[in-house]
Structure 1
Amino acid sequence: MARSDEAAAFFAAVYSAVQEIPYGKVTSYGHIAKLVGTPQRPRQVGLCLKHLSQDTDSHFNHDNVPWQRVINSKGIISPRSQPSGAQNQAATLQAEGVVVSTGSLGELMVDFSVYGWFPRTLPSETGQSEEGDED
């Protein structure tokens, strides 16, 4: 089923925002939703990332959108439908130098105070470098 123009625009906005997350940093689904102007839609951000194309010929794809840099608002890597999904995301983040720890319930966690990226606006919208103006 083809996406509506509105849905396609939302997917593109999410993917473009995620592309601005610096290497070695993470942010939350909710923060991406806020940055694209829909703070009430963090779950839809996750849905966009779930449906990110594996086809490297697609404009936005698994290789050029750093999906691994988006985690939940508690700093936890959200479980995936496949058992190894969270482990794969953790390994990809660790390859970027992000320390991933294991919580008391076995959850994979990232410390936002060290690795968090929470600019007020996207650097591309303010003309700032990737470091931007952070909260």
Structure 2
Amino acid sequence: MEREGFFERTYELVRQIPRGRVASYGQIAAMLGQPRKARFVGFAMHASPGQAAGVPCHRVVFKDGSLAAGYAFGGPSVQRQLLEEEGVVFLPDGRVDMSTCRWEA
């Protein structure tokens, strides 16, 4: 797997996640035909040019709705703020409510 090609395909897919919805790293990997590459999706999100390039990395979370402690663009509090501004619902324990906010592509 060529890293740059995988990253670009990842960014193209993440750009399709609508406002108010989230996808998991594993979900993105599976949609790319690489179900065992969730960690590589995480690497791509960390290396992403971010929202300035139209890649809404904040919409990618762990499968249980947890936010990444090392969110590359300001930490999990910034990620949560961005998601809340889009209407993403959080559970009392701080995880995204995946039952209502998961992107069904």
TM-score scaled by length of structure 1: 0.70
Q: What SS class does the counterpart of residue 64 from structure 2 fall into?
A: coil
C-alpha RMSD of matched pairs (Å): 1.8
Return the structure number with greater relative CO, CA threshold 8 A, min gap 6. 2
Corresponding position of 2:82: 92
**Cα deviations across residues 18-44 of structure 1 (Å, max 9, x unaligned)?**
001111100100000011111000011
Kindly state the Cα deviation for residue 99 of structure 1 after the two structures are TM-superposed: 2.1
TM-score scaled by length of structure 2: 0.89
**Residues 31, 118 of structure 1: 8 Å contact kept:** no
Cα distance in 1 for partners of 2:61, 2:71 equals: 15
**Residues 25, 115 of structure 1: 8 Å contact kept:** yes
Q: Letter of the 2:51 partner, please give it.
A: H
Cα distance in 2 for partners of 1:42, 1:81 equals: 15
Q: What SS class does the counterpart of residue 46 from structure 1 fall into?
A: helix
Larger Rg: 1
Q: How does 1:1-135 map to 2 (within 5 A)?
A: 6-53=2-49, 61-63=50-52, 64-80=54-70, 85-103=75-93, 108-119=94-105
Taking only the aligned residue pairs, the percentage that are identical comes to 34
**Residues 20, 83 of structure 2: 8 Å contact kept:** yes
Aligned length in residues: 103
**Cα deviations across residues 83-130 of structure 1 (Å, max 9, x unaligned)?**
x60101000001111123441xxxx311111111133xxxxxxxxxxx
Cα distance in 1 for partners of 2:62, 2:23 equals: 8
Structure 1 alignment gaps of length 5 or more: 54-60, 120-135
